[in-house]
């Protein structure tokens, strides 16, 4: 069963870095279509590393197009 939204921690990181409303953060939501800037994506990546211990290099950040894929990547690589 797919979660309707990303983990609460990830949702908070994305919301704070981008100013998006929580309702827009569905697993199928494409990060680029949500209007998240590349600068905000870098901020999100840094905060993910700080919060979850998962390092996201530039290539990885931009290769995970949806909120759900980003969430799954974090879960698979958490320390």
Within a domain: 3: no
Residue 58's pLDDT is what? 83
Q: What is the domain range of residue 55?
A: 8-77
**What DSSP state is assigned to residue 30?**
B
Write the CATH number for 32. 1.10.1200.10
Residue 26's pLDDT is what? 92
Q: Whole-angstrom Cα distance, residue 37 to residue 42?
A: 9
**Interhelix angle 67-77/8-18, nearest 10 degrees:** 130
Residue 5's pLDDT is what? 64
Within a domain: 2: no
Q: Does residue 21 have a pLDDT over 50?
A: yes
Q: Whole-angstrom Cα distance, residue 63 to residue 1?
A: 24
Q: pLDDT-based confidence at 4, cuts 50/70/90? A: low
Tens of pLDDT, residue by residue over 30-63, are 988 999 988 999 999 999 999 999 999 888 888 8
Neighbours of 51 (CB within 10 A): 15
Within a domain: 46: yes
What mean pLDDT comes out for the span 73-79? 90
Number of domains composing the chain = 1
Q: Give 65: exposed, middle or buried? Use CB within 10 Å, 0-12, 13-18, 19+.
A: middle
């Amino acid at each position: 069963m797919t979660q309707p939204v990303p983990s609460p921690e990830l949702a908070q990181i994305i919301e704070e870095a981008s100013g998006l409303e929580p309702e827009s953060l569905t697993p199928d939501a494409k990060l680029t279509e949500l209007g998240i800037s590349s600068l905000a994506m870098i901020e999100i990546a840094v905060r993910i590393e700080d919060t979850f211990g998962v390092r996201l290099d530039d290539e990885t950040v931009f290769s995970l197009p949806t909120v759900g894929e980003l969430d799954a990547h974090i879960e698979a690589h958490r320390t």
